[in-house]
Homo-oligomer: A and B are copies of this chain.
Amino acid sequence: MVLIKKEDSLSFDEYGALKTLARIKKKHGSIRLSSSELGEMLLASQQTASRLLIKMEERGFIKRVLTGKKQNITLEEKGINALYEEMAELSDLLGIMENFSISGTVSSGLGEGRYYVSKKPYVVQFSEKLGIIPYPGTLNVKILSEDESKLRMLRANEGILIEGFESDDRTYGDVKAFGCRIKNVECAAIFPYRSVYKDIIEIISSEYLREKLSLNDGDLVKIDFTIRN
C-alpha cells in the first residue's frame, strides 16, 4: 500500500529517518553517523538505513559526504520543507496556530515584489482573491531570527494561489499569498511559489504602509496572521 502518496512526498520510512536526522541536528548542530548507528535509532538494520539514506539522497532530501568511517549528512531544503509541511498539515488539522504573529524589521531593497504590484495579471488577482488593490510598492520586512521557523511553517501552508503568466519578455511565476495585518491594517504577505527560503517577507497592501504607519527602515513590526484552510 502506498498511503497518501502525493508525488514527491515522503514515505513513512523517510519521514521517520528525516525526523531522526533533524533531532540529531538540533542536538549537535551537525549530523555525522554511520548507517548502523542510524539503523539502531530507527530500530532497523544497517542495510535498511543505508538503503534509506541512498534513496533520500536520490530524492533530494539530504546530501551525504562519505568520509570512510562515517557519513556527514546535511538536510536539504526539500527535506526540511517536508517536515514543515507535515507540521503545517497537523497544525491545520488540530486547529493550533490559527493565529500567530511574526516579527521583523522594516528594510529596503527590492525583491520580486515590484513585479507583483505593477503587472496587471497579478494585480487583478490580488483584487479578486484578497480584496487588495496594491499600492505600487512592497514593504520588506526582515524577520527576526527567532521567528524564522514560524516563517518556514507559514510558507508550508497552502495559502492563496496567485497564478503566474507569460509576457513578451519573460515568465512570471505563481505566487503564494497569506492575508495578514500590521497594526490592524489589512495586508498580505506574498512569496514566489518556487524560490529558496529567504528571511524577508514582502508585504502588499492597499495603503502605503510606510506612510500610513510611519514606518522607517529598522523599525520593528509585528505581522499578524490568521490561517484558515
Contact = CB atoms under 8 A, between A and B. Distances in A.
* Chain multiplicity (copies): 2
Interface stretch (A109-117, A149-157, A169-177, A208-216): A149-157
Given A3-B42, A3-B44, A43-B4, A152 B19 contact: no
Contact of A22 (B15, B93, B149, B153): B93
Please classify how large the interface on chain A is, using the bins under 10, 10 to 19, 20 to 34, 35 or more: 35 or more
A150 B97 CA distance: 8
Contacts of A20: 4
A222 to B, nearest CB: 14
Summarize A's interface: helix, strand, loop or mixed. helix
A90 B94 CA distance: 13
22 contacts: A1-B42, A2-B43, A3-B12, A3-B13, A3-B16, A4-B43, A11-B12, A12-B12, A12-B15, A19-B89, A19-B90, A19-B93, A23-B93, A26-B95, A84-B94, A87-B94, A87-B96, A94-B149, A94-B153, A95-B149, A96-B97, A96-B150
Interface of A: 1-5, 11-13, 15-17, 19-20, 22-23, 26, 42-45, 48, 83-84, 86-87, 89-91, 93-97, 149-150, 152-153
